[in-house]
Amino acid sequence: MALQTARISAEGGKAQRVYLLLRDEITRGDLPPGAVLPGELRLADHYGVSRVTIRRALDVLAQEGLIDRRAGSGTVVTGAAPQRAAIAADFATLMPQLVQMGQQTTARLLSYAYIPAPAPVSDALRLADGVRVQRAVRVRLMDSAPFSHLTTHVPDDIAQDFSETDLAGTPLFRLLERAGVQVDHATQSISASLATPDVAEALEVAVGAALISLTRVVFDATGRGVEHLAALYRPDRFRLDMVLNRVGKAGARQWEPVLVPMTGAAE
In the complex, the residues that contact DNA under the rule CB under 7 A are 11, 13-16, 37-42, 48-53, 55-56, 58, 69-75
- Residue (17 or 132) nearer to its own copies, CB: 17
Residue closest to 57 by CA, chosen among 11, 13, 19: 19
Query: Is the Cβ of residue 162 or residue 173 nearer to its own copies in the bound state?
Result: 173
Choose between 55 and 224: whose C-beta lies nearer to DNA.
55
115 binds, among its own copies, DNA, none (CB under 5 to 8 A by kind): none
For residues 142 and 87, the answer to whether their CB atoms sit within 8 Å is yes
- Please state, in angstroms and rounded to a whole number, the distance separating the CA atoms of residues 110 and 189: 24
- Cα–Cα distance, 249 to 71 (Å, whole number): 57
Nearer to DNA, 7 or 178 (CB): 7
DSSP letter at 80?
A: -
Strands (E), 73-117: 74-77, 87-90, 96-97, 105-116
CB of 190 to its own copies, least distance (A): 4
CA distance 14 to 60: 13
Shortest distance in whole angstroms from residue 247 CB to its own copies:
8
Shortest distance (Å) from residue 71 CB to its own copies: 25
Q: How far is the CB of 70 from DNA (least distance, A)?
A: 5
Least Å distance, CB 68 to DNA, is: 9
**Please, what sign has the CA dihedral across residues 14, 20, 23, 25?**
negative
120 binds, among DNA, its own copies, none (CB under 5 to 8 A by kind): its own copies
